[in-house]
Structure 1
Amino acid sequence: MDIPGLPARRAALNLVDAVLRRGETLDQAAGAALARVRGDADRALTRAIAGETLRWKADLDALIDSATRQRLPDDAKPRAVLELMLAQVLRLDTPPHAVIATGLALLAGGPRRLAHGVFSTLMKREVSLPESPTLPEPVAARWGERTAAIAAGLASPPPLDLALRDPERTAEWAQKLGGSSLMSGHVRLPRGVAVEGLEGFRDGAWWVQDLAASLPARLTGSGEGRRVLDLCAAPGGKTLQLAAAGWNVTALDISKRRLERLRENLARTGLAAEVVQADAFQWEPEAPFDAILLDAPCTATGTCRRHPDVLHRIGERQVAEMADLQGRLLDRAAGWLKPGGVLVYAVCSLEPEEGEAQAAKVALTPWPIAADELPEGLSPTPEGWLRTDPGMLAEAGGLDGFFVARWRKG
């Protein structure tokens, strides 16, 4: 007999397993996991269950351990199913009877009685989760004294941020869309809004881009027809910003698939850029650039609000690999600048090895970031760099973790 909602729960279980056991991202695992889930609502539910399970995993495990005489192994299926069941009740407000019906069905031929007993015990205790998720021990060790503030920013999934093609119409679009704005060219909407149905989407008046992700292109300045290289450009939010700011943009990326999305966004917004698919370590420009924006490949730990899988996939090995790649890209980019040209470096990472340590090695003239270039509530570091994390601007809905630095050549 078919149980309503069971395919979504089975898919969520597969998503979590792909992250924890195989080190895949939620996006990478979604294709196979969601193949048998029908309907947008059930697909969204699948992602929500998996995301909240990963976001609160340490706290869910602590509850499970408090209700068992003998600790379940970390890789035991009953533990994984119980995590999903508790995430639904405690984070998604799913009725317990629906959780039991779909959760125990995932343990067909297995220890259903054990899972039912643990779940029932915890429901009778009226357990709850802490205000902020407890981060995995290796993550807390890396982030040190910043951990508590970052964790506070992860308690809820993020709102929806839009970057406007015409910043002068910020107040108009905030009113039209029923949103708020934290700086010119930005509108923030509640999470869960159907983007394609919003006014201005088809006309290309805006695109989806986290507030922190929009800052590196802003810090590149006004183009006035000058040439800029958007290095590692896809999926294209920064390319759109640079083009809208009057730059003559060359957008370079190695990924054909991701560049297709960039081209689609250029067509939708009516903005122009030269799109180049190439390996940055093989490609050479015909002439040096007035500015280069390097939003470098990174561990993306700063996106943990919307991608909680990074809390479980990323370790010291991945950080070291990305730091090596970033250093080589920075060296290459510096050689492509005109005298007096501007280099902006950014990563959506919370790891110092990918941010501060990289900036300290750049042999160009620093161009410090000023407070009046940033949203109210953010400040540059003493070095003139920018460091954001998910705990900042919390009352306004927060933002992703980014590191940004800027230099001039000569």
Structure 2
Amino acid sequence: MPRPTGHRPPPRLADPPGTPARRAALRLLDAVLRRGLAIEQALDASTQGLAPPDRGLAHAISAEVLRRLTDLDDLIDSATRNRLPDDAKARFVLRIALVQALRLGTPPHAAISTALPLVDGGPRKLVHGVFGTLMRQNAVLTDPPALPSEVYARIAANWGERVADAACAAIAAPPPLDLTLRGGASAEGESLLPGHVRVAAGTSIVEHEGFAEGDWWVQDIAASLPARLIGRGSGRALDLCAAPGGKTLQLAAAGWDVTAVDASESRLARLRENLERTGLSAKVVTADLLKWEPGFEADAVLLDAPCSATGIFRRHPDVLHRVRPRLIAEMAELQSQLLPRAARWVRPGGLMVYATCSLEPEEGEQQIERFLTEHSGFAIDPVLPDELPDGVTAHPRGWLRTLPGMLTEQGGMDGFFMVRLMRVAA
């Protein structure tokens, strides 16, 4: 007896070229917005199997969505009768399609044709209709972008509305790239400090002159300042929480005998690669700083402590959407444990620099105020004007706080807190 054929669904049409990169962008956004992962943490798994250009496109799309998320969602909400849930796939797909058409120069027909397959049997008509409505209305994304309301409020409460407005302007586009030069090396670009060069955003790192020769490494100018505060030396230096290693390279290039410690073996792999590329040397240790002991007192200790990373939102816009007060409190608690522990490893007369790439006073000023109250054997060694780029000044207490709005005409800088301490008693 012949088998009944029944109704067979039509064969699925092949995805348009470019769709795999958009699928990867969707996975990246899901990892950040629903699972709370850092975009760099999710990048490898989300882009597995993609060629480098498609991997780069997926990262660019997802990062631009995160820069413009508040404004994208406002556009979507203006064109829907019933508000889509924040985690609805249709909303994610519309964000991807709209940011390409409105910010990345993708023709609207290509933006929607590569986005619709991502709905996977969902409300394609809704996505197509909302996108089409907004295109017919000549929708635009405003400049500067809006920060998430809670982020704007937190920055304004800590540093004032002018700084919060500067943060909005800072997320409008990827920032320029800063290169720290190995001693005696040079590179094309604008120099804001000796041993520093700034090049345009989008510069190909591996193709830029001097990369293969190890003449420089990528490091935001703010991130280069903590090691600059230690300066040159020939003694023993500890670089704690060292990965990915820019500060280790600086200390090694400045003549120090460096021991670099980090808990992440995968992140230390990048440090080892850069040591090999630059020809610099350091002892690299994988260890938990809450358990590890160096077995010696160091002449200089650099503690670039784990933190919320809210100061590096220009390059990592995911922090705008995944960092909550609870994480800030957890990081501050960890710092309060690491700081006195690191202080034990400084010899009398030696230096310790504490730094965080955070905009939160709980992870900077408040940590040091508490530490100095409890550790009378340490005193602030004030940051000097000639150690800083023109236009950046230290706090009257002697520490340094970099904020959105600094060096704006030159392309800005990341948000950091750092302080140089001297052990003045045994």
TM-score, with length taken from structure 1:
0.94
Match of 1:302 in 2: 311
Return the offset for 1:310.
0.8
**What is the distance in 2 between the residues matched to 1:198 and 1:118?**
42
1:214-293 to 2 correspondence within 5 Å? 214-223=224-233, 225-293=234-302
Return the offset for 1:44.
0.8
Q: Does 1:342 align with 2:373?
A: no
Contact 2:212 2:277 in 1 (8 A): yes
What whole-Å deviation, never above 9, does each CA across 1:289-329 have from its counterpart, x for those lacking one? 11111001111111111111111111011101110111111
**What is the distance in 2 between the residues matched to 1:182 and 1:199?**
19
Q: Does 1:376 align with 2:376?
A: no
Match of 2:168 in 1: 151
Contact 2:15 2:117 in 1 (8 A): no
What whole-Å deviation, never above 9, does each CA across 1:238-267 have from its counterpart, x for those lacking one? 011011111121111222222222222112
**What is the distance in 2 between the residues matched to 1:342 and 1:213?**
18
What whole-Å deviation, never above 9, does each CA across 1:16-47 have from its counterpart, x for those lacking one? 0111111111122222221243x221111111
The one-letter code matched in structure 2 to 1:216 is P
Contact 1:7 1:36 in 2 (8 A): no
Q: Does 1:203 align with 2:222?
A: no
Contact 2:401 2:415 in 1 (8 A): yes
Return the offset for 1:153.
1.0
Deviates more, 1:269-278 or 1:322-331: 269-278
Contact 2:116 2:128 in 1 (8 A): yes
Match of 2:142 in 1: 130
- Secondary structure of the 2:308 match is coil
1:152-171 to 2 correspondence within 5 Å? 152-166=169-183, 168-169=184-185
Match of residue 351, structure 1, among 360, 372, 383: 360
Q: Does 1:173 align with 2:191?
A: no
The one-letter code matched in structure 2 to 1:25 is A
Q: Does 1:362 align with 2:371?
A: yes
Match of 2:18 in 1: 5
**What is the distance in 2 between the residues matched to 1:18 and 1:62?**
22
Q: Does 1:31 align with 2:48?
A: no
**What is the distance in 2 between the residues matched to 1:2 and 1:61?**
26
What whole-Å deviation, never above 9, does each CA across 1:111-170 have from its counterpart, x for those lacking one? 22222221122112212112122111221222122321112111111111110011x55x
**What is the distance in 2 between the residues matched to 1:236 and 1:31?**
20
The number of residue pairs the alignment matches comes to 401
**What is the distance in 2 between the residues matched to 1:256 and 1:107?**
37
The one-letter code matched in structure 1 to 2:247 is K
Match of 2:420 in 1: 406
Deviates more, 1:132-141 or 1:335-344: 132-141
Contact 1:252 1:276 in 2 (8 A): yes
1:73-88 to 2 correspondence within 5 Å? 73-88=85-100
Query: Which ranges of structure 2 fall in alignment gaps of 5 or more residues?
Result: 1-13, 373-377
What whole-Å deviation, never above 9, does each CA across 1:335-384 have from its counterpart, x for those lacking one? 11111111101011111111111111222211111222101111111222
The one-letter code matched in structure 2 to 1:403 is F
**Percent of aligned positions that are identical:** 59
The one-letter code matched in structure 1 to 2:16 is I
Match of residue 73, structure 2, among 50, 61, 77: 61
Two-structure CA RMSD over aligned residues (Å) = 1.4
**What is the distance in 1 between the residues matched to 2:209 and 2:268?**
25
**What is the distance in 1 between the residues matched to 2:31 and 2:269?**
27
**What is the distance in 2 between the residues matched to 1:107 and 1:253?**
41
**What is the distance in 2 between the residues matched to 1:96 and 1:333?**
54
